[in-house]
Chain A
Amino acid sequence: MSLWSRLTNVFRPGGIERELDEELQFHMDERIRELTATGMPRDEATRQVARRFGNRLRLREESRDVKLLPWLDSLVRDVRLGMRMMRKNAVVTGAAVVSLSLALGACVAAFSLVDALILRPLPVRQPEQLMYLTFPTYTPERPEADTFNDPLFLRLRDAARGRVDLFAMSTQVMRRVTFGDNGGEKESLRTQFVSGDAFDLLGPVPAAGRLFTKQDDLRPGDHPVAVVSHALWIRRFGGDPAILGRWFSLDGDGRGLRGRQFQIVGVAERRFTGVEPGRPTDLWLPYAMYNPHAFGNADFGWFRIVGRMAEHVQPLQAQGVLQAAFTNFRRDRVGYMEPNRSPERVAQFLNTPLYLRSASNGTSPLRREFARSLWILSAIAILVLLIAGSNVANLFLARTAAREREMALRLSLGAGRGRLIQQMLAESSLVAGAACMLGLLFARVAAPTVVRLLGSADDPVQLDLGMDWRLLVFAAGLTLLTAALFGVAPALRASGVAPITALKSGGGGSGVRAGVMRPFVAVQVAFGLVVLFVGSLLVLSFVRVSSVNPGFATSNVLVLSLEALPGVDAALKRTALVQVLDRLRGIPGVQAASAADYNAVGRAWTYGTRVPGTEHETIEATMAPVTPGFFETMSIPVLAGRAFVSRDLDARAPVMIVSDGFARRYFGRQPAVGRIFEGRFGMNDDTSGQYEIVGVVADTRYDLRKPAAPIIYIPLPLLANGTLYVRAAGDPVALGSRLREEVRAANPTFRVTSITTQSAVVERTLLRERLLAMLSGFFALVGLVLAAVGLYGVLSYSVVQRTREIGIRVALGARHLRVIRTVMAETGGAALAGTAAGLAAALYLSQFVEALLFEVTPLDFWSLALPLGTLLLAALLAAALPALRAVRVDPIIALRYE
């Protein structure tokens, strides 16, 4: 009989009984038939057969017993017994379940995040064939770049044809869109420009209408069509098929992308949400509709190159072909470099490698940013799970000791050892199962919370965290593993009871020595230290990075995002802006007000430009268009020259101000003020010209984690959606609503879309650091508390167990310290061994964290002192109560015990 049919027997005894009945009935009927054939009357025959058959019920029972799997039967009994034991020790069981569920839940939450962001392949045809291209830039700000320009893309695409089919996908940007059905209100949507064959090569099918084709690539500017995501279709249009053919307008972004009308031609299928896990695309536009300056322009890198490799092609082969085309392109470009460039720079430029990265699970910048953090958090969660598991193991060991007589009795009455092991395992599985349920609930809450922390209000992160079978399998597997890990030792221990000794010693609880628990103490202390060490490194790092001086005022500066009415020209906007600023400066409580085209931290737009008379052929610098008064508002000191004045706004001779870092990097010791060079910021002709440097200001950091990047400030040339900076004398938040009204009153051209403080903007750049510090700090504390509880438990147990011995020692005149040493020495030794092992492991593992640390190294004084000190403190606290109890042992009572 197969195992399956046995199992089904257990769950449907009715079926097997019916079969048995039928079999027996057949037998009886045959017998009756035979007897009547010999001439016996029918009722006589029936009676005889019935008599002969005896008790049919008993017969049935007997056969059924053979058929039902005995162990499954006994398992049910064990589970019932286990439930009873759990109810009896409600508090202890509850603590075990809660600590385990916290750790299990953390593991499940971490797995669901890792799965959604890192592991899950894109829902497209054969995702393993997808790759994207990157290359090193040799700059500290951005070590590896993945944006390419149009001429290079065409060269690469032609070169790789037949081996890899390359297509373009722009970086995703939140853009303002007006659908025109709600009074012209603008909506922020995540948009992406893609080449016409992108959909074909990726594989999604349309849910309605059509997707892009190569025809949409033909003439730049001539294909005003758009594909919307399924999610947007449902969310915004209720799945209305009439969406096809509808027009909407897209705002320009002030950086060369001109606003214009687009017509919706299709909806992508539901499961396709773009190629960036965590940042689903709302709107796809044809690549040909991007800024016309971008085409044929090798200075304008704006999209990723993604590709699908042909069936038979090896990555190395593809890389070879692409590398050759890439290097050739650069060779052609070398002529455009400055004549007095250094040979090293030329060699580096020409020898830049091109990397093929797998895009099977997307090209997510979010993943690049958070993958390592998530793995670290997962590792921490697993360690905490092991600590919690060890606690539960010790708990079960102690309980086994209490139930030693029960075990011994059952053994001597003939229960098999296997039976006892099974019973103990059933109990631990019950605890683990309950913890798993709770843990899943916890994960349901925790994982989305973490996802929210990954994004910000204007750039939210959405991850698909649905409970799919992978997650459930993971949770179930982890639970079983945990149950086995912490259940086996107590189970073996319980079954190893020697009946005679256990039954002879009257008091009970003499059997299991605390020694059995000591390995768990060592394990807990070791893992606890690792978690604590890593956690405190990340917390220390966060504290350091958030105390970095960004170089500008943050605390009382308000940031107001503006939006201009559609159709207002640049000159009008400029006048309106001056009016708004003048009005704001007149409000009491406002110390200074100015505007900029971007947020001074967090957002950076990098342009290449040239400095004549230096070896630098191109300069990578952040360009910041600001109004006069910006440096004063932000409290950025002017180090040389002057700040912008109002006549710079419409001067014929353009001026610029550079940051100290810029001056030092490109001019060294030579003065920067007075230099003139060709500037071409972005692709707009209206920003090109001979710029004179009129001032140098102190460095500011738009990323607190990195050294100050070089910045070029130019007088605000044209404002699309600008940002106002207002420094308040007092509480800036109170001023906020007043400012909103004042802006509207000053000039109706502008509307305030959001108000925040500069400190909030700065904090947002430290998202990852805060998340890591918060979560790892939390789990470090949980781990520490669990380890301390474990230590306390074992120490208390050994004091109780050795009460007699302590009594004798006290009676013989042992001092307090001596008594404490007796009780604690061995456990303390285990804890020390754990500490040593934990420290070694922590130092080894810290190398995986180091890349995320800011000015903290694992061997710093505080990096070592903080976790070790905390651990010591926790250990002392855990030991205090048992020590006190040991000292207070009254020899008379202790010795009378038996």
Chain B
Amino acid sequence: MNDQLLAAVTQYGPAALFGIVTIAAIGAPLPITLLLIVVGSMVSQGAMNLWWALGVASAGSILGDQAGYAIGRWGGTAAVTRLSRLFGKQTSLQAMEAKAKAWGGAGIFVTRWLIGPLGPWINLASGTAGYPWRRFLFWDSLGEVTGAVVFISLGRFFSDRVMALYAVLGDVTWAIAALLAAVILGIQLLPRLRRAR
């Protein structure tokens, strides 16, 4: 499936890119980072215009995120559960709502690109938690444009090293996720250890 999506982008360009990033932003688990790196490489080869690529990738992702937010806001719990099942994930909505509330705008921003897999769930949770739409749109747009610029630029720069770059970025993402987990656990652990003394 991933192979076919990547082939579609190399062959059909912006139209395929728009469709895929939109579906991924709604919640389908697709390799968007690799896709944007490949697009960057295509820009470097002259097969796609840079501004088109950035515009289409950002617009598609923002549209998908808004759809996710709208489902969370107006679709109700049943729609959210159906969407989770459709994409094969059962995430605790309450846990995600708590994260969306605690992280606020910064959480929306980083889950657009730095911790991408959480993005669709934060969209749904922001909707169900009633996070203000204008603020959501602002942080969402900022994050998606940042993601498109970062990954397409990396793809342009390492245009003949696409798979090697993807492997590096995969490890970086895991390292960041593990570090975040260590920080959160450390914050919980410290008061317990102080009390124990």
Whether both chains belong to one complex is answered with no
A-side residues, CB < 8 A to B, are none
